[in-house]
Amino acid sequence: MTNREHTQEVIDWVRSKTDSVILFYSAGKDGIALLDLVAPHFRRVVCVFMYFVPDMEHIQKYIDYSELRYPNVEFHQVPHWSLTYVLKSGLYCQPDPDVKLMKFSDVADNCRLRFGIDWCLYGMKQSDNMTRGIMLRGKDYVLEAIQPKTKNVYPLSKWGNNEVLAYIRQRRLPEPVRYSERQKSQGLTFSEDCFLYLKKHWPGDLQKILEAFPLSEVILYRAEHRGDM
């Protein structure tokens, strides 16, 4: 069985339980490929993008493309779970001790209640790291991808990064956001690479971040003046 056939088996298993799913989407390679694989098989696919700053233009272009290509797909933006730690601790902003700390699972559970959908799909893979590989090969996971108790599903469980990128090229899907060749995470973070990428390609989005987190300008300053120090 090929990895793509395995993914189809996972999708078929979930489809036998429900006609609607939530897909956590970051505009990275795994989310782009997974959405294309999943969309034809469900009546409703709710894509959730977790943000540090909402309404980023360089993310919106992926949302607009996906909603046009897949008529059964809808997008919603929600605060990133780690944003609660940023705000409470005052990372690049004034600390807010009243902020309630959240976990990824809290965001997923809130989305389940909000959208009335039980099953959540994620783009994580066994090849991402050892911990995830051990988890997905655990006895509680059907097809090394499905956790029936929590209703969490990882359809790309057996794929590798190069295989995902090859699928994107084969299907002529949008190239994923890549803030840096060195960056392992696909998401936007408070890093020099992300800030320099946005300054060059999406200065309006960088300005939104600086307005929301004024003290983060030091990241850009350090990146641009390292040779002068």
Tokens for 202? Answer: 């999406």
Interval 98-144: pLDDT, tens: 999 999 999 999 999 999 999 999 999 999 999 999 999 999 999 99
pLDDT at 187 over 90: no
Average pLDDT over residues 201-219: 95
Beta-strand runs (E) in 68-156: 73-79, 120-121, 146-147, 152-153
Q: How far apart are CA 53 and CA 188, in angstroms?
A: 10
Please say whether the beta carbons of 174 and 28 come within 8 A.
Answer: no
| Domain formed by 3-177, architecture | 3-Layer(aba) Sandwich (3.40)
Q: How far apart are CA 171 and CA 2, in angstroms?
A: 17
- Tell me if residue 105 falls in helix, strand or coil: helix
Q: Which residue has the higher pLDDT, 198 or 184?
A: 198
pLDDT at 228: 47
197-216 burial: b if 16+ Cβ within 10 Å, else e = bbeeebeebbebbbeebeeb
pLDDT-based confidence at 178, cuts 50/70/90? confident
93-117 burial: b if 16+ Cβ within 10 Å, else e = eeeeeeeeebeeeebbeebeeebeb
Spans of all domains in the chain: 3-177, 179-229
The enclosing H or E element of 46 equals strand 44-51
> How do strand 120-121 and strand 146-147 relate by DSSP bridges?
unpaired
- HSE (CB half, 13 Å, CA atoms) of 182? 5
pLDDT at 1 over 70: yes
Q: What is the pTM of this model?
A: 0.92
Say how many C-beta atoms besides its own lie within 10 A of residue 44's C-beta. Answer: 15
Interval 55-91: pLDDT, tens: 999 999 999 999 999 999 999 999 999 999 999 999 9
How confident is the prediction for the chain on average, in pLDDT? Answer: 94
